[in-house]
């Protein structure tokens, strides 16, 4: 039951943080190509890992992660205002590299001559 609750809280945090990033942060260094892909909340609801996907090169990604790290307190307070929880979890931002990984796998398959979603002719 604790797992289900942490998943529900994670989904709600994901929704709220996405909205905060889109509308709440006024930092000019934060570009619009940042999205929240997943949130993992611990079973005791004290910690939350927020995975973000950032479009850009490595330098831009690091820059935006630093901006998010500085805004962590503001984002956490906004979560506390929007979601009714006894304890607002400590948040930590992580870069989600699954899109890059998927693109790399797609490239390897293309190099091998395997089309994604299509069968080879017999």
Number of domains in the chain: 1
Does 60 reside within a domain?
A: yes
Does 43 reside within a domain?
A: yes
Residue 26 domain boundaries? 2-112
Q: Is the pLDDT of residue 9 over 80?
A: yes
The CATH number given to whatever domain includes residue 40 is 3.30.300.20
Q: What is the pLDDT of residues 54-84, one digit of tens each?
A: 888 888 888 889 989 998 999 999 999 999 8
Does 66 reside within a domain?
A: yes
- What CA–CA distance (Å, rounded) separates 85 from 88? 6
Q: Quick one: which of 43, 42, 40, 46 has its CA closest to 87?
A: 46
The rounded Cα 105 to chain-centroid distance in angstroms is: 21
Does 85 reside within a domain?
A: yes
Q: Is the pLDDT of residue 120 over 70?
A: no
Q: Quick one: which of 43, 52, 42, 98 has its CA closest to 75?
A: 52
Does 101 reside within a domain?
A: yes
Q: What is the pLDDT of residues 75-110, one digit of tens each?
A: 999 999 999 888 899 999 999 887 777 778 888 888
Does 90 reside within a domain?
A: yes
Does 56 reside within a domain?
A: yes
Q: Quick one: which of 62, 63, 51, 60 has its CA closest to 94?
A: 51
Does 122 reside within a domain?
A: no
Q: How many residues does the chain have?
A: 122
């Amino acid at each position: 039951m604790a797992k289900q609750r942490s998943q529900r809280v994670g989904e709600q945090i994901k929704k709220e943080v996405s909205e905060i990033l889109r509308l709440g942060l006024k930092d000019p260094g934060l570009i619009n190509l940042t999205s929240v892909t997943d949130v993992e909340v611990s079973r005791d609801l004290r910690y939350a890992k927020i995975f973000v996907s950032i479009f850009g090169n490595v330098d831009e990604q690091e820059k935006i992660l630093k901006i998010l790290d500085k805004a962590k307190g503001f984002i956490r307070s906004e979560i506390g205002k929007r979601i009714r929880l006894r304890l607002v979890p400590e948040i930590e931002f992580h870069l989600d590299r699954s899109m890059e990984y998927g693109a790399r796998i797609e490239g390897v398959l293309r190099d091998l001559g395997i089309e994604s979603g299509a069968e080879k002719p017999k």
